A and B are shown apart, each in its own frame.
Chain A
Amino acid sequence: MGLQGKEREAFEKTLEPYVGIEIGIKEIGRDEINQAMIRHWCEALDNELPIYTDAEAAADSMHGEIVAPPTMLQAWILPGMEMATGEPDPNDKQKELHRLFDDVGYTGVVATNTEQEYNRYLKLGDRVKAVTVIETISEQKATGLGIGYFINTKTTFTDQNDEVVGSMTFRVLKFEPSQQPAAAPTDDSGAPAKPTRIRPALAHDNQWWWEGVQADKFLIQRCEDCGVLRHPPRPMCGECQSIRWDSVEATGQGEVYSYVVIHYPEVPGYEYPLAVAVVDLEEPGLRFVTNVVDCDPEDVHIGMKVEAEVREMDPDFKMVVFKPIA
């Protein structure tokens, strides 16, 4: 729940001196803008735009000569190997600020936004340096990750003539993790598992129906005594109170009775926007809740004729879905 009351006031006071100050570490490009680093970047990212590596094509373009990809901006000032092996810079006010948060429980850190503006494209031979200022620290916020504070930094990039060539704002959330992160799901080989749809909970009254789907059957429960069909399955017939039942295969023909298109929240394992419909089945009085597939969700409409298909929606998991009748 984050710090509250007097503790929170006292903590927020300790943050104030950091707002507006330079972070204090040296950010000077160690090399001129050069073809080798540009080529390395373009190859790694598979960027084939000729203005970065082909002098002739670059000369013919509006740029007139070889330029560096604009999003490389920060690459010219990062310290490289030192980031893996070097000692932390004792002058780094940003790290100092993060430690203040760590000490009171806001141990999580995640970059949430970045924005870069480019005044001009950098050319071979240019040399950049940068100055970063801690611009703002937000109020305490409730976020999906937990309670925390957003820290905005702004970096201004200048060239060899001290002219501003671009800028970057960077937004980081320092937060109190709201719960222990769940162990990451993995498959048998230890590789990260792909998210899947939420599986039904199975128990006596519904397991037989889902087993039918996995065997490619779209079943409807039928009262063995009075013959009434019912869905979703229930253990007793509401018409004659019989507990004896069997099932029949549905014809799979139907018409959309109502539908929604889900945009939010996006749950891993599903594709969005996601169309879900209540379908009037051909069997009188029966409806079925299902995804409408094989068409643009925006094209689903009430009265649309649809037919069922048992489809593998995830590995090892089949569902009854409906698709438009051509």
Chain B
Amino acid sequence: MSSVQYAETNVGDALPEQKIEVTSSLIVGGALASQDFTPVHHDRGAAQASGMQDVFMNILTTNGLCERFVTDWAGSDAQVRKVAIKLGTPNTPGETMTMTGTVLERNDADKTVVVELAGKNTWGNHVTGTITLALP
């Protein structure tokens, strides 16, 4: 798998868009894989008791999907340094989350780039934020 080189990047470069189908399997699988057994992320009854329609995605999974969106573009030699996200509308089963991102900043000193990203579902932005990564 080839990696994006720092020298090839420009401010404003768009990352390839991803469409992530949000299923019960992804929500529950992501919650358990992250050791987050809070009931609202795997038990529909508990989620409904909390006022939601169905189980909803936990933050670790959201973080992980943001990381994946960026490293799918950047490749194996990138090092993620920082993930800063703002949470918005919940991700519930049946949604499609569209991930978009662009290169916001480049820092020659440490060959890092800051990617600004958003993951949007039908109710608005599920997540917005930035990921800082060092590139070869």
Contact = CB atoms under 8 A, between A and B. Distances in A.
Contact of B84 (A63, A110, A113): A113
B83 A70 contact: yes
Interface in B66-114: 66-68, 71-72, 75-77, 79-87, 89, 92, 94
Contacts of B87: 110-114
Interface stretch (A42-50, A90-98, A153-161, A294-302): A42-50
A45 B71 CA distance: 13
A84 B37 contact: yes
Secondary structure at chain A's binding surface: helix, strand, loop or mixed? Answer: mixed
B84 to A, nearest CB: 4
Interface of B (DSSP majority class): mixed
A74 B60 contact: yes
B12 to A, nearest CB: 14
Given A117-B81, A268-B123, A50 B76 contact: yes
A11 interface: no
Contacts of B72: 48-49
Contact of A69 (B39, B64, B76): B64
B59 interface: yes
Interface in B49-67: 51-54, 59-61, 63-67
B79 A83 contact: no
A171 to B, nearest CB: 9
Interface in A219-278: 266, 268-269
Interface string A172-187: 0000000001001010
Given A41-B64, A70-B67, A84-B39, A78 B136 contact: no
B82 A44 contact: no
A117 B80 CA distance: 9
Given A83-B37, A194-B122, A114 B1 contact: no
Contacts, number: 141
A116 interface: yes
A45 B65 contact: yes
Interface string A55-83: 00110111100000111101110111111
Given A47-B64, A113-B84, A117-B82, A78 B124 contact: no
B100 to A, nearest CB: 12
B16 to A, nearest CB: 14
Nearest to A60: B76
Contacts of B9: none
Interface string A100-131: 00000000001111111110010000000000
A41 B38 CA distance: 17
- Among B42, B59, B71, chain A packs the most CB atoms within 10 A around the CB of B71
A62 B65 contact: no
A81 B92 contact: no
A262 to B, nearest CB: 14
Contacts of B38: 83-84
Contact of B76 (A40, A43, A57): A57
Given A41-B34, A51-B76, A61-B76, A71 B51 contact: no
Given A44-B29, A46-B68, A121-B79, A75 B60 contact: yes
Interface of B: 1, 3, 26, 29-30, 32-39, 42-43, 51-54, 59-61, 63-68, 71-72, 75-77, 79-87, 89, 92, 94, 122-125, 136
Given A45-B64, A61-B77, A268-B123, 7 more contacts: A40-B32, A41-B33, A47-B68, A60-B76, A63-B79, A110-B87, A266-B125
17 contacts: A37-B33, A44-B26, A44-B61, A45-B68, A49-B68, A49-B71, A58-B76, A62-B76, A62-B136, A71-B63, A71-B64, A72-B34, A83-B38, A114-B59, A115-B83, A115-B85, A118-B80
Please provide the 3 A-B residue pairs with the shortest distance between their CB atoms, ordered closest to farther.
Answer: A44-B29, A78-B35, A44-B33
